[in-house]
Amino acid sequence: MGLALGLSLGLGIPLALIVGAILGYYFAMKYFKKQLRDNPPITEKQIRMMYQQMGRKPTEAQIKQIMNSFKRNSTK
């Protein structure tokens, strides 16, 4: 009986650590992607400023296209 308990504890702890690491990674990535989707690293105002620095006046379609490409790339 003591040997079975020792083996179960010996396998249970590393197994719990591995499962915990996998679950932690999954939920951390899910949370990180949600944060990127809700708070993009670049805003429409910043895109407008970049175009102005290049001496161009961006259209709303160009700004939306750039924002959509950022969103598509951040979800991968």
pLDDT in tens, the chain (76 residues): 455 655 566 777 788 899 999 999 999 999 998 888 788 788 889 999 999 999 999 899 999 998 888 778 766 5
Contact between 39 and 20 under an 8 Å Cβ cutoff? The reply is: no
Q: What is the pLDDT of residue 30?
A: 94
User: What's residue 74's pLDDT?
Assistant: 65
User: What is the distance between the alpha carbons of residues 15 and 4, in angstroms, rounded to a whole number?
Assistant: 16
- pTM for the full model? 0.54
Dihedral over alpha carbons 51, 61, 73, 28 (to 10 degrees): 90
Structure confidence at residue 58 (pLDDT): 87
